[in-house]
Structure 1
């Protein structure tokens, strides 16, 4: 019989903390050190610091670790607002000053662009918003811990499947972030405390929704406990036993649709405020309805300004025909439609296309055509809408970028393109194609601080035809 192969064991990690000097920062904000020709990435360490750290991973050329003590601190180090920051995986940069966080992200974008051979003529000032209490979408883990004899609700610990034991979350919207401990205590009363898997959080301008994902049916008493808890805190409660859209409203009288408002121009004209004037027309705020599981931007203040800035950068005229790719619920499409002749909005989710059409009807907008198409497939290249001429184009792709569809934009000869990105590397890759192959120049680029205290980078780039 053939001999069994022995399972290879990973390298044994040193148990004692190691003192090291941090010489730089990685793109995601981890400290960089060098030990015995090995690069070490150290969580919660800043450039110029001396720290004690413990190894969490060790390989031939690269190692990872976490800071256990700061021996010599950087002047950019600040005290984290969150008491659970050292353990929680929800944030990674609370130990870093806000100014340094923004610079790190701006440098990351510019470095990626330069690496791909393109540089903007103008670097935009970073778009800043609230640093705490901003997050309106989240998925919270739930777990009953036998050793602690209680339920934990929150984000997972760094590099672990365990749930962080915390009383509150500083970046979550206060309607949820301030009641994590109470929420855990409520679930702890349930017979189903061990089978509540997660809570989806969605906050609109009108209400806060909690979706409880449960693995087994809830008894009537559990339903009553959850309903009373949510009612007493003005929260809307859904139960989810199956697919994300398979939702049961726990309190039937809470029937108002979740929604947010987009001011016609900028963030200063809020719901119920006086509408702005544009091109001599008077517009009320846009009302965008959505379901808790739908994709929406997590930072509503940044989103409002991002949409307004995109319209400004495109310099929309009443005669313009605009193409919006990866259009989602119509976040950009509906806002742009009020400032141009026609918008063709293309989205890869049929469910989102239907909801976007509903939002157009809700706002009495009839100059947007929402189209379902897979923008990563070869078949889309023969689509009739792709053979039309457009004056302006807006791209808002997922992390993977828009490489598959960008070459097809060449024949359109659009005057301007605005590209909104959540991943600098794919933006830079696509920017190189727009500049080198499609004949555009990169006029402007900059970051929007959509995710303070995390390493996520939202950015925007403006291209004009040469």
Structure 2
């Protein structure tokens, strides 16, 4: 066995779900970040375990034809992107491969049709959201993204995957905040006021919103300083920046948002975005897809699968992006969303688009389906977070057995896992469409259609409106 400090020559013959290259030494698996399939490299181990190791590239002995220079000067350190060193053709091929690996090896799905991946209309400057971390580290204020695998802030000046509007706002905000008296958060001591800055932009209106995420309620002098610099930002970005929000998050965890939010400067707390025939409003804290043209493609794909169904249950509905499309073609829709601000945006979006056949239920999907919903649906639409569906949600689906399930996923691994559970309940995956929502990264979105393989008889759809936290619009 070679020693930990040895340099080794490796040939990369695969890629894992984190876009790391995979090599093998007499059956021993080695993961190499930044290596591409077909390359031969000189590598050095940084971690060795019983069944696998992790190595870094010392030099590339044989380079892939698909290797390209990264566009971002912070790419090697930043944790935001992991495929900038690969051509876009390679990125698409790699994502198709990762999906195939997940559904065959983890899910063991039989004979599902995997459509060719839908490329992103934009591969740079597409992202409409940025979470900027503000930390006091090494006796300095730092703004930027976390370094890969750490909470060490990389002090960036610009991000090439961000909407140019957000890059302009970021640099203006950076100049203002660095010359202010606002203190940055120190994770070790929990001291300091400002934890994050969140920025959002609209593709259709070309407007932006911003939020200061604070570690505690500000003192009067701190609030005065925040108001001063916020007013300065609004004045300097008067044509684009609609509003600046304060959010207070006293928790010690990694979740960005706290429960208290208020408008500090400007006159608007919502952005407006257009997808097809629908105009959607959303708050700076709401979930909204970061790549709007691809979000539209997702909505059209889901609509195509759902077109012949009259009663639909949508879980993890967000602000109603998919809901509006469903309501325009279905008899009625029940839309379930957990995040309270998103529920308000969802209700607003249903009303402003003139849709009167949607019932909004606010609460965790796993709680709502068992405690507040009774009856049958023709179809269920799922759009869960990366962790996938809660087990109680899958149990509920097995109980009511709709004829059709459309599963929108941003994680092939949890899609494969949940799909296997649904197959055990009598469902068959029919079609899977990958969409590249996140160019320059290894993440990929999928829309999967599953149909019931056996017929069951159920009752009529019911909803107990007295027990549900909902508004019929």
TM-score (norm 1): 0.82
Contact kept, 8 Å, 2:172 with 2:233, in 1: the verdict is no
Residues 33 and 122 of structure 1, relative CA distance in 2, 3 Å threshold: closer
* Segment drifting more, 35-44 vs 159-168: 35-44
Q: Answer whether contact 2:282 2:342 (CA < 8 A) is retained.
A: no
* Pairwise CA distance, 1:110: 1.9
Asked if the contact 2:40/2:60 (under 8 Å) is kept, the reply is yes
Q: Which residue of 2 aligns with 1:338?
A: 328
Q: Which aligned pairs between 1:24-423 and structure 2 lie closer than 5 A?
A: 24-35=14-25, 38-115=28-105, 116-129=107-120, 130-144=122-136, 151-178=141-168, 180-194=170-184, 195=192, 196-204=194-202, 205-206=204-205, 207-215=207-215, 216-217=218-219, 218=222, 220-221=224-225, 223-233=227-237, 234-235=240-241, 236-242=243-249, 244-252=258-266, 254-255=267-268, 257-263=270-276, 285-316=277-308, 320-377=310-367, 380-381=369-370, 383=372, 385-387=373-375, 389-402=376-389, 403-410=391-398, 412-423=400-411
- Tell me how far 1:240 sits from its aligned partner: 3.0
Secondary structure of the 2:82 match is coil
Q: Per-residue deviation at 1:171?
A: 0.9
Give 5+ residue unaligned stretches, structure 2.
185-191, 250-256, 454-473
Distance (whole Å) between structure 1 residues aligned to residue 399 and residue 181 of structure 2:
62
The DSSP-based 3-state class of the residue aligned with 1:75 is coil
When residues 94 and 433 of structure 1 are mapped into structure 2, their CA distance, relative to the original with a 3 A threshold, is same
SS at match of 1:128: coil
- What are the superposed Cα offsets for residues 222-263 of structure 1, whole Å, 9 maximum, x if unpaired? 5323432343233232233446353343324x3263222221
In structure 2, the CA distance between the partners of 1:20 and 1:139, relative to structure 1 (3 Å rule), is same
Quick one: distance in 2 between partners of 1:345 and 1:77? 44
- Closer, same or farther in 2 for the Cα pair 1:120/1:462, shift >3 Å? farther
What is the root-mean-square deviation of aligned Cα atoms in Å? 2.7
Distance 2:225 2:425 in 1: 64
CA distance 1:153–1:316, change in 2 (3 Å): farther
3-state SS of 2:359 partner: strand
* TM-score normalised by L of structure 2: 0.81
Q: Report the CA distance shift for 1:99/1:293 in structure 2 as closer, same or farther (over 3 A).
A: same
How far did residue 420 of structure 1 move? 0.6
Alignment partner of 1:376: what SS?
Answer: helix
Matched-pair contact (CA < 8 Å) for 1:373–1:380:
no
Unaligned ranges ≥5, structure 1: 1-11, 264-284
Q: 1:413 to 1:171 in 2, by over 3 A?
A: same
Contact preservation (8 Å) 1:125, 1:446: yes
Q: Secondary structure at the match of 1:135?
A: coil
Change (3 A) 1:107 1:119: farther
Asked whether the 8 Å contact 1:187–1:193 carries over to 2, the reply is no
Deviation at 1:44, TM superposition (A): 0.8
In 2, distance between residues paired with 1:436 and 1:361? 39
Assess if the C-alpha contact under 8 Å between 2:40 and 2:62 holds in 1: yes
State the distance in 2 between where 1:179 and 1:429 align: 40
How far apart are residue 179 of structure 1 and its match? 5.4
Q: Return 171-180 or 82-91, whichever deviates more.
A: 171-180
- CA deviation string 1:261-318 (max 9, x = no partner): 221xxxxxxxxxxxxxxxxxxxxx322222111111111111111011110122236x
